[in-house]
Chains A and B, each alone.
Chain A
């Protein structure tokens, strides 16, 4: 049977895509525009990308961003995975409660997360800096890692581990040879998501950053106050590309790990 496709549906689809992607497309296009005064197309250039990499402040912010993202990703991946593993031993009721608590940071508005962390750090007399940003990023990344890994664990069920035990494997051998290989796509995907979120986060970082710990998004925000420059467009374009690649990679790892099973989207 042929699917009846109304022509209006096609138009709706195009309009929707324009609505979503036009702003991003503008930034990408103007990052190649051969003029400081954005507005008119003056020809193609890569100058802005070149000058970006010779800009000391940009490089410093990039360094900060990468340090924060790497450390917070490693810590939140380990903690999130351990949380997902240990919570399985809980009773159904306890699990539901703890699940809710671990999901919460996903739902709480960023501005509140940022503000509450700022209050906490100042109460504890911790100076704002890279450390505070890292701690802040761990708190929200952990939840995402937990969600992805525990979905993977639920998908795996208990039978494989029981089979391993039945065949004579110890608890550690079962974890090492059966559980870990089965959930590793979830762990990798969780880590990639955590890294992306950390790299892209502005709101929470803004509250807890200090003068010497400017990350890329904070740098961009600071620059934009003085008008949107083509360098900023170039920087944003690079951030978009990196984020998209990381998320696609996470998606790919998750789907491949699922093997023959049904395609599923990330719980985001």
Chain B
């Protein structure tokens, strides 16, 4: 079943296109990520779905109903704000109960729902605290608990982990994924972090300058980027130009060859060596071309590389991904 349908939605601010016409269907229970650099329009799209922005053109459908002109408080979805937007004058419990209270749900049922949300987000010991008495990660959890207590059809998340440090992000990423599977509700997630998008999503929409660059599963986007932007924004890539146009080769698809031999497509000088433990990377300056190539070698390679070594590079034809100019 389709949960969200965006039909040719478009947003202009003062005559400028912030979001170019966009059509997109999101399935029930899907984890969809809008990925792109700041200013690419991803938050505007999310806010249009939530109802805080009106599309200049186009329609928004939610669970089979047109909601384009429906105000945010009448849409059966919830938004987790970037800076959480917890009510400072309410305790954790009151924050979570807020939406249910506003809908005049019976008290016993509110308690039940709050209990459920609190357990799910491991907030039980913090119920009586105020937001300013919580750490960033805990506030984040409250924001999510407050949203899921309403049992919305869709949860919208606007860079929910953006303000947290790296280790906490990693932990919360897996928690989020786990939560989404357990609840089975549709997630629309906004982030500029490509690794996060790859790890969490069923499908990713890559946006740049208000335009869709590519829509696909993480695997499709990594293995077969359609545009130059998609090829370089997600993961590392080497972009070569040939008479037929541009093509990309991932660092791990490049193998070593005898320098200047017939089996070497390119020859170059090692400029830098980076060890990561599981892989190591060589940065190679090509001969005759003003270009640096990165290649990633796995553990099977036990050669000690020196800066200044001359090496040959090779790859298979099938690993050349042709991209639009």
Which B residues are CB-close (under 8 A) to A160? 85, 87-88
CB 8 Å contact bits of B144-157 with A (1 = contact, 0 = none): 00110010000000
Cβ < 8 Å to B, chain A residues 121-175: 159-160, 162-170, 173
A178 and B102 in contact (CB under 8 A), knowing A163-B81, A166-B50, A167-B150? Answer: no
Contact A168 B89 (CB under 8 A): no
Contact B72 A162 (CB under 8 A): yes
CB 8 Å contact bits of B40-55 with A (1 = contact, 0 = none): 0000000000101000
A182 and B88 in contact (CB under 8 A), knowing A165-B72, A166-B73? Answer: yes
| Minimum Cβ distance to chain B for residue A219 (Å) | 43
Ordered by A's residue number, 5 sampled pairs between the chains whose C-beta atoms are within 8 Å are A163-B81, A165-B71, A166-B73, A168-B150, A259-B132
Contact A159 B102 (CB under 8 A): no
Compute how far the CA of A168 lies from the CA of B74 in the bound complex, rounded to whole angstroms: 6
Contact A168 B99 (CB under 8 A): yes
Closest 7 CB pairs of A and B: A167-B99, A163-B85, A159-B85, A169-B102, A165-B72, A260-B132, A165-B73
Compute how far the CA of A173 lies from the CA of B50 in the bound complex, rounded to whole angstroms: 19
Which B residues are CB-close (under 8 A) to A177? 98, 102
Contact A182 B73 (CB under 8 A): no
The verdict on B78 contacting chain A, using a C-beta distance below 8 Å, is yes
Contact B87 A166 (CB under 8 A): no
Compute how far the CA of A181 lies from the CA of B79 in the bound complex, rounded to whole angstroms: 22
| Minimum Cβ distance to chain A for residue B80 (Å) | 9
| Minimum Cβ distance to chain B for residue A72 (Å) | 29
Chain B residues packing against A (C-beta within 8 Å): 50, 52, 71-73, 78-79, 81, 83, 85-89, 98-99, 102-103, 132, 146-147, 150
Cβ < 8 Å to B, chain A residues 106-127: none
A173 and B72 in contact (CB under 8 A), knowing A163-B87, A166-B50? Answer: no
Contact A159 B150 (CB under 8 A): no
Cross-interface CB contact of B87 among A168, A178, A260, cutoff 8 Å: A178
Contact B72 A170 (CB under 8 A): no
| Minimum Cβ distance to chain B for residue A40 (Å) | 56
Contact B102 A170 (CB under 8 A): yes
Contact A159 B146 (CB under 8 A): no
Compute how far the CA of A183 lies from the CA of B324 in the bound complex, rounded to whole angstroms: 54
Compute how far the CA of A159 lies from the CA of B43 in the bound complex, rounded to whole angstroms: 14
| Minimum Cβ distance to chain A for residue B156 (Å) | 9
A259 and B50 in contact (CB under 8 A), knowing A162-B81, A167-B78? Answer: no
Cross-interface CB contact of A162 among B52, B102, B147, cutoff 8 Å: B52
Q: Which residue of A lies closest to B101 (CB)?
A: A177
A-B contact count (CB 8 A): 58
Cross-interface CB contact of B102 among A173, A182, A260, cutoff 8 Å: A173
Q: Which residue of B lies closest to A169 (CB)?
A: B102
Which A residues are CB-close (under 8 A) to B98? 164, 167, 169, 177
Contact B52 A170 (CB under 8 A): no
| Minimum Cβ distance to chain B for residue A256 (Å) | 12
The residue in A163, A166, A178, A182 that gathers the most chain B C-beta atoms within 10 A of its C-beta is A166
Contact B132 A162 (CB under 8 A): no
Contact A182 B89 (CB under 8 A): yes
Which B residues are CB-close (under 8 A) to A260? 132
Cross-interface CB contact of B72 among A159, A166, A181, A259, cutoff 8 Å: A166
| Minimum Cβ distance to chain A for residue B83 (Å) | 7
Compute how far the CA of A177 lies from the CA of B85 in the bound complex, rounded to whole angstroms: 14
Compute how far the CA of A163 lies from the CA of B102 in the bound complex, rounded to whole angstroms: 12
| Minimum Cβ distance to chain A for residue B79 (Å) | 5
Contact B132 A167 (CB under 8 A): no
Which A residues are CB-close (under 8 A) to B102? 164, 167-170, 173, 177
Which A residues are CB-close (under 8 A) to B50? 166
Compute how far the CA of A65 lies from the CA of B50 in the bound complex, rounded to whole angstroms: 52
Compute how far the CA of A259 lies from the CA of B98 in the bound complex, rounded to whole angstroms: 21
Which A residues are CB-close (under 8 A) to B89? 181-182
Which A residues are CB-close (under 8 A) to B150? 167-168
Q: Which residue of B lies closest to A174 (CB)?
A: B73
Compute how far the CA of A62 lies from the CA of B239 in the bound complex, rounded to whole angstroms: 85
A166 and B88 in contact (CB under 8 A), knowing A173-B102, A259-B132, A260-B132? Answer: no
Cross-interface CB contact of A169 among B52, B73, B88, B132, cutoff 8 Å: B73
| Minimum Cβ distance to chain B for residue A4 (Å) | 37
Q: Which residue of A lies closest to B94 (CB)?
A: A177
| Minimum Cβ distance to chain A for residue B147 (Å) | 8
Contact B81 A159 (CB under 8 A): yes
Compute how far the CA of A147 lies from the CA of B258 in the bound complex, rounded to whole angstroms: 76
Q: Which residue of B lies closest to A156 (CB)?
A: B88
| Minimum Cβ distance to chain A for residue B90 (Å) | 9
Compute how far the CA of A159 lies from the CA of B72 in the bound complex, rounded to whole angstroms: 13
Compute how far the CA of A118 lies from the CA of B81 in the bound complex, rounded to whole angstroms: 53
Contact A159 B71 (CB under 8 A): no
Compute how far the CA of A170 lies from the CA of B50 in the bound complex, rounded to whole angstroms: 15
Compute how far the CA of A167 lies from the CA of B52 in the bound complex, rounded to whole angstroms: 13
A259 and B88 in contact (CB under 8 A), knowing A166-B50, A167-B150, A177-B98? Answer: yes
Compute how far the CA of A182 lies from the CA of B85 in the bound complex, rounded to whole angstroms: 13
Compute how far the CA of A165 lies from the CA of B81 in the bound complex, rounded to whole angstroms: 12
Q: Which residue of A lies closest to B77 (CB)?
A: A166
